[in-house]
A and B are shown apart, each in its own frame.
Chain A
Amino acid sequence: MSPTMHDDVETQLRELFEQQASALPVTARAWDDPPLATVTTLAQPRRTRSTLAAIVGTAAAVALVVGVVALAPGRGINVAGQPGAAVPVHFATPQVGFTADALLIDAEGRQFTSSGQVVDVHSDPGDSKYTTLELTWRERGVEMRLYMYFASDGHDWWATELRTYNGHASGDWIMYHSPSTYFRSPLGQPFAGNVDFAATDGTGHLRISNLKLQAFLPPAQCAHPTTKYALAPSYATVSMVNDATTGFGTGTTALLDTATCKAVSDPSAFTYDWKINDPAVAQFRFGAGSLRSEATGVALSESPDLAPKGTGSTVLHATAHERSTGKVVATADIPVTVAAP
C-alpha cells in the first residue's frame, strides 16, 4: 500500500466510502403497506428480550460515564512455558474470561500456543448484546491473533465469529465457521469443553483443550459486595497512546447498586470526583461531551474524559458521593498507562 494512504487514512476513507456508495446500484422504491422486513439472509430467528436483558440494557443505559479507554496494547499477560509447548492459559477482561489447559492454532502447518509469550488481552466492552475478546502476541517471529466476537439475547451468550492470523509475516485472517453458533451457554454460566474448529478455507485448525469460556461476565464488584454501591470500570486498565491523533478515548464506569448488580436508577443523585495521581501522565479534559449523562441528560460535570500527557503509569481515583449528604458511597482505583506512540 502506498505511503500516501498511511499518511492520510482519513482522506482515503472518505474517498473509499464515496466510491462504494457511488458504485452501489440502489434502485428507487416506493413504500408498500403493510411494512414487511425481508431479511432473508439471516440464519437465526429473533428472540424476545428477557427481563434480565432489559435489566442489563437499562443498567448500561444509565451507566455513569467516565473517561477511560484502551487504545494501546494493555498490560500483557505472560504465558509461562517453553515456546511452542502446550501450556495452560488464562486470559481475562472485565467482560470475558478464558481459561484452558492448552491453546493451539495450527496455521498452514505452523503451530502457535502463546507459551512463553506476552499476550495483549483486550475486550471491546460493547454492551449487553455485544462484546469481544481480542488476544494478540508475537510467536515464531510473527504476530498472532485470536479474536472472538460475542453476542447475547438476554437468555444465552455465544460467539458469532472466531478468527486467527495465518502465521505469515504480513498476517491475514483465517476464519473459522461453525454450522450454528459457538459456545452457546446460559448467561452467567461458562462454556466448558474441548473444541477443534477447522478453518473455512482448510488452512488451519483452532484447538483448545478443557476450555472454560464465559462472556458478558457480571461485574466483579457484585461477587462479594461489602458496600451498597460499587464503581465498576469497563476497563481493568486504562491504556492509552501518547499521540494527539489516537491517544484519546473514553469508556464507561457504572455506579452499581450491589444488591441488584445493576446501575443506580438515578445517577444524578450522586456526585463524582476524579483524581489522577500523576498529571504528567494523564489529565482530565472537560468537553461538551462530558457534561451530561447519555441516559438522563443530567449534567455530570464531575465526569470528565481523560487525555494522555506523557508516557508512564499512574492511577485514576474515582469517588462517588451521595448528593444529598455528601457521604462517600463508593471508590475505585483504576491503573492508567500511557505508552509512546
Chain B
Amino acid sequence: MAMTQPRAPGEAAAPTTDFAAFYRATWPGAARLAALLTQDARVGEDLAQEAFARVYPKWSRIENPNAYLRTAVVNACRSWQSRRHTERVKLPLVATSASTELTFDLLADAVAELPYRQRAALVLRYYMGLSEAEIADALGCRPGTVKSLTSRALAALRKGIEE
C-alpha cells in the first residue's frame, strides 16, 4: 500500500501535533469523505472513526498525517464495501428544485453502482480536488491507473446517463 511512510525507528522525531487537536480539526472532513466514498449515509462516521483508530497507534511516526488519514479512510471504506450485505441508505441532498434533485439523485445512484476503486477515484478527484499522484497514494496504485479508473468511471456514468 502506498501510504505515506512512517519514519524509521531511531530517526529524529518530527514535530508532532496533538492527536486530539488533529482529530477535532479533521473529523468532519474524514466523516464526509467516508460518506461520499461509500455513498451510504449510515456508515460514514463509523468508518471515519475506524480510520482514526488505525492512525492513532502510529501517530508519533507519521510524517504526513492528512495523507495517512486519507489513505486509512479509503481503506476502511473499501473493506466495508467488500463486506456490505444491506442496501445503502442514500446520502441526503441540499434542498433545491425538484428537477435538480431528481438529476442528482439519478447521478448519485449511478455513482453508487460503480466499483469501489472507480468511485473512490472520482470522489478524491472531484470532491477532494487531489492530484493524480495524491489519489494514487491514497488508492495504492500508479497515477496512470488513476487515469484509467477515472476514465472508466466517467465512461460508465455517461453510458448510464444515456440509458
Q: Which of B7-15, B60-68, B103-111 contacts A (4 or more CB under 8 A)?
A: B103-111
A300-319 toward B: CB 8 Å interface, digit per residue (1/0)? 00000100000000000000
Interface pair B104/A19, CB less than 8 Å apart: yes
Measured between beta carbons, the chain B residues less than 8 angstroms from A151 are 82-83
Interface pair B155/A71, CB less than 8 Å apart: yes
- With A17-B126, A19-B93, A22-B94 given, is the CB distance from A38 to B152 under 8 Å? no
B73-96 toward A: CB 8 Å interface, digit per residue (1/0)? 000101011111111000111101
Q: How far is the CA of A124 from the CA of B53 in the complex (A)?
A: 30
Nearest-neighbour CB distance to chain A for B126, whole angstroms, equals 4
Interface pair B107/A12, CB less than 8 Å apart: yes
- Please give the number of chain A residues whose Cβ is less than 8 angstroms from any Cβ of chain B in the complex: 73
- With A28-B24, A250-B144, A250-B145 given, is the CB distance from A20 to B126 under 8 Å? no
Nearest-neighbour CB distance to chain A for B38, whole angstroms, equals 10
Q: How far is the CA of A227 from the CA of B23 in the complex (A)?
A: 52
Let me know if B69 is at the binding interface, CB within 8 A.
no
Measured between beta carbons, the chain B residues less than 8 angstroms from A18 are 127
Measured between beta carbons, the chain A residues less than 8 angstroms from B96 are 19
Closest-by-CB residue of B relative to A36 is B53
Interface pair B82/A249, CB less than 8 Å apart: no
Interface pair B103/A17, CB less than 8 Å apart: no
Interface pair A173/B141, CB less than 8 Å apart: no
Interface pair A20/B35, CB less than 8 Å apart: yes
Nearest-neighbour CB distance to chain A for B35, whole angstroms, equals 5
Residues of B within 8 A of A (CB): 1-2, 19-20, 23-24, 27-28, 31-32, 35-36, 41-47, 49-50, 52-54, 56-57, 76, 78, 80-87, 91-94, 96, 103-104, 106-108, 111, 113, 115-118, 122-123, 126-127, 132-133, 136, 140-145, 147-148, 151-152, 154-155, 157-158, 161-163
17 further A-B pairs in the complex, CB-CB below 8 A; given A19-B104, A26-B28: A9-B157, A21-B36, A23-B94, A28-B27, A35-B52, A39-B47, A40-B46, A41-B43, A67-B144, A160-B81, A173-B113, A200-B87, A245-B154, A250-B148, A287-B143, A289-B133, A294-B2
